[in-house]
Amino acid sequence: MQRVRLTFLDHLIKEPVIHQLGHKFDIVTNVRRADIQEGIGWVILELEGDDDEIDRGLDWARALGVRVDPALGDLIEP
């Protein structure tokens, strides 16, 4: 499992990026925290799947213009 923070700007906020990430790649996505404001949004995701597949999915998201960072700190635990 990997935890990442995805940051979306402008037009990407309304795109179904997380949905596509789970369907284009063999990855299970779990939203742990998110926020959307004027012109920017972010989400902290848990990603489950093969590490290579997760890397492919995150590379795809970066190519769309999504910023991908490791998720650190303030996470709500189950």
| Residue found under tokens 């972010």 | 42
Residue 13: its pLDDT value, please?
86
The domain spanning residue 57 has which CATH number? 3.30.70.260
Number of compact structural domains in the chain: 1
Check whether 74 has a pLDDT greater than 60: no
pLDDT, average across residues 31-45: 92
Is residue 15 classed as helix, strand or coil in its secondary structure? coil
In a domain, 37, yes or no: yes
Say what the pLDDT of residue 76 is: 54
- Per residue in 5-25, pLDDT (tens digit) is 999 988 888 889 999 999 999
Q: What pLDDT was estimated at residue 77?
A: 53
What does pTM read for this prediction? Answer: 0.86
In angstroms, rounded to a whole number, what is the distance separating the alpha carbons of residues 58 and 51? Answer: 10
The answer to the question of residue 78 being in a domain is no
Is the pLDDT at 75 greater than 90, yes or no?
no
